[in-house]
Structure 1
Amino acid sequence: MVITLVGEKLAKPGMEFIYYGPAEPCKTCRLARVCVGNLEPGRRYKVVKVRNIEHSCPLHEGKVRVVEVVEPSIEILLDPRTAIVGSKMTLKFVDCEDPEKESLAKPEGLFEGDTVKILEILDDVECGGKHYKLVKVIREKE
Structure 2
Amino acid sequence: MTITLVGEKLAKPGVEFIYYGPADPCKSCRLARVCVGNLEPGRRYKVVRVRNIEHSCPLHEGKVRVVEVIEPAIEVAIEPRVAIVGSKIKLSFVECNDPEKQSLTRPEGLFEGDIVKILEISDDFECDEKHYKVARVMREKE
Question: Aligning the two structures, in what range does the TM-score lie when normalised by the shorter sequence?
Answer: over 0.9
Instruction: Determine the C-alpha separation between the residues in 2 that align with 1:10 and 1:98.
Output: 32
Indicate the RMSD between aligned Cα atoms, in angstroms. Answer: 0.5
TM-score (norm 2): 0.99
Report percent identity of matched pairs: 80
User: Equivalent residue for 1:70?
Assistant: 70
Q: Aligned partners of 1:103, 1:90: CA distance in 2, in Å?
A: 19
Q: Which residue of 1 aligns with 2:105?
A: 105
**Structure 2 stretches of 5 or more lacking a match?**
none
Residues 113-140 of structure 1: CA distance to partner in whole angstroms, max 9, x if unpaired? 1000000000001111001101100000
- Paired position in structure 2 for 1:23: 23
Q: In the TM superposition, what are the counterparts of 1:1-142 in structure 2 within 5 Å? A: 1-142=1-142
Structure 2 Cα separation of the partners of residues 4 and 137 of structure 1: 23
Alpha-carbon shift at residue 62 of structure 1 (Å): 0.4
Q: Secondary structure in 2 aligned to 1:81?
A: helix
Runs ≥4 residues deviating over 2 A: none
**Secondary structure, aligned partner of 1:136:** strand
Q: 2:84 corresponds to which letter in structure 1?
A: I
How far 1:76 sits from its partner (Å)?
0.2
Normalised to the residue count of structure 1, the TM-score between the two structures is 0.99
SS of equivalent residue, structure 1 residue 100: helix
Would you tell me which structure has more helix in proportion to its own residues?
2
Gap regions ≥5 residues in structure 1: none
Q: What CA distance in whole angstroms lies between the structure 2 residues aligned with 1:134 and 1:127?
A: 12
Structure 1 residue 98 displacement after superposition:
1.0
